[in-house]
Amino acid sequence: MQPVERAEYEGIDYGWVMQTTFVVTILVGAPVVAALSAFVTLDSWPARAAFAVRVGAPIWFVTAVAVAVYARRTDAGDGGVAGADDADGADADPEDAGDADSGSA
């Protein structure tokens, strides 16, 4: 049973992708939204919130896509266990490989 923090499909740890997207978006997106808001007149709190959503949503989307692509290409977020899974599978395979080789010969 996998821990709740991990959700891997197609070799990507989507939990890591979501957490990294959140952190990077806050660290990068908040200053960008704040800087862009200096050039716009925002008279009320609803106007400020709408501006933050209009500017922040594309930043969030681009960050999420970039982090997902990075995770897919580099096996990021696996916690170093991807190699361990392969090693465990390699230990069990010699017996199965011997049976497969004897059946094919």
With b meaning 16 or more CB within 10 Å and e meaning fewer, what string describes 53-67? eebbeebbeebbeeb
Name which residue leads in pLDDT, 60 or 5: 60
On whether the pTM is more than 0.75, the answer is no
- Bridge-based pairing state of the strands 12-13 and 8-9: antiparallel
| Amino acid residing at 37 | S
Residue 2 has pLDDT above 90, yes or no: no
For residue range 13-52, list pLDDT tens digits in order: 888 889 999 999 999 999 999 999 999 999 999 999 999 9
Name which residue leads in pLDDT, 64 or 1: 64
Token pair of 11 as six digits: 């070799």
Give the pLDDT confidence score for residue 62 in this predicted structure. 95
For residue range 43-101, list pLDDT tens digits in order: 999 999 999 999 999 999 999 999 999 988 887 766 555 554 444 444 444 445 555 55
